[in-house]
Amino acid sequence: MLKRRRTHAFKRNVIFSTATRRRIMIRNIHKKIIWRRRMFAMQVMSELNDASTTKD
């Protein structure tokens, strides 16, 4: 539910903003997504390393 509300607000802000502002907002969101993916990948890698070290 919360996710949908956030998306709606974001889309509304994008529609009623200038092209420059829109570009900045999209870039900020993109950075956030990339950072989140990188954090998730690091977490998965550390779990794999932990699993492989405990196997020995």
pLDDT band at 55 (very low <50, low <70, confident <90, very high): low
Residue-range definition of the domain harbouring residue 19: 2-55
User: 């950072």: which residue's tokens?
Assistant: 35
Residue 14 near residue 27 (C-beta atoms within 8 A): no
The token duo for 31 is 């950075």
Mean pLDDT of 38-49: 92
Phi, psi of 29 (to 5 degrees): -65, -40
Average pLDDT, the chain: 82
**What single letter denotes the amino acid at residue 28?**
N
Query: Is 10's pLDDT higher than 70?
Result: yes
Query: Is 37's pLDDT higher than 90?
Result: yes
The token duo for 46 is 């550390």
* Structural domain count, the chain: 1
Residue 14 near residue 22 (C-beta atoms within 8 A): yes
Residue 34 near residue 46 (C-beta atoms within 8 A): no
Query: Is 29's pLDDT higher than 60?
Result: yes
